[in-house]
Amino acid sequence: MRAVRAGLTALVGATLLLVALPGLASAATTGTTTATFTLTGGAISITAPGTTVKLGSVSVAASTVSGQLGTITIKDNRGLLNGGWTDTVSSSHFTIGAAPETIAATNVAYWSGAATESLGLSTLAGIQLTSAAAVAINAAQTTFTAGSLIGNNAASWNPTLVVTIPAAAVVGTYTGTVTHTVA
């Protein structure tokens, strides 16, 4: 009988323990986990036509030669909050091969025209939207600025180059370099 009584006492004690500590006796009904991730920024890039652009052929008596350069595209994948960028353009002199015949970069004008495409831009300002706003690009000139940028964005345009032919120009194929830079 003593063994039964000891067994009952142990059982009652275990039951009281379970009743006294209900948190231990029941299963959790919710659970939370904190999760995090990190986004890293990419790069800003510019692309311009990679092949030679032919502006055409005119007489040495012509006052100018002009043509579109092809699409210029800026892709900004930096993912900035309130970011911005500025594109500038400049030109070298135009020369005939290794000959000393040169049309100076001061005779090279540029106008961007309006953006042909834009993505994710809050503020995009073109500087030379019409031919009347064309500027000499013997020194760097701003073409477009973008501001108040949030996340990734892009812009494209197809600018026009106008080369004034000096009276002393000689016959030949002139070559020069137009450089766009984004910062």
Backbone angles phi, psi at 107, to 5 degrees: -90, 5
Q: What is the pLDDT of residues 44-57, one digit of tens each?
A: 999 999 889 999 99
The single-letter DSSP state of residue 107 is G
26-40, 106-120, 139-153: range with lowest mean pLDDT: 26-40
Domain architecture of the chain: domains with CATH: 44-182 (2.60.40)
In the structure encoding, which two tokens stand for residue 161, read together? Answer: 């180059």
Provide the percentage of residues in the chain whose pLDDT is more than 90: 78
Helix (H) or strand (E) run with residue 17 in it: helix 2-20
Backbone angles phi, psi at 25, to 5 degrees: -90, -20
* Residues 84, 112: Cα–Cα separation, whole Å: 19
Q: How confident is the model at residue 101 (pLDDT cuts 50, 70, 90)?
A: confident
Q: How confident is the model at residue 58 (pLDDT cuts 50, 70, 90)?
A: very high
Q: How confident is the model at residue 28 (pLDDT cuts 50, 70, 90)?
A: confident
* Residues 144, 116: Cα–Cα separation, whole Å: 12
Give me the DSSP letters along 109-152: EEE--S-SEEES-SEEEES--SGGG-EE-SS-EEEEEEEEEEEE
* Residues 119, 159: Cα–Cα separation, whole Å: 19
pLDDT of residue 16: 45
Q: What is the pLDDT of residues 133-178, one digit of tens each?
A: 999 999 999 999 999 999 999 999 999 999 999 999 999 999 999 9
10-19, 60-69, 90-99, 151-160: range with lowest mean pLDDT: 10-19
Contact assessment for residue 91 and residue 178, using Cβ atoms and an 8 Å cutoff = yes
CA-nearest of 58, 66, 62, 56 to 162 is 66
* Residues 88, 79: Cα–Cα separation, whole Å: 22
What's the pTM? 0.80
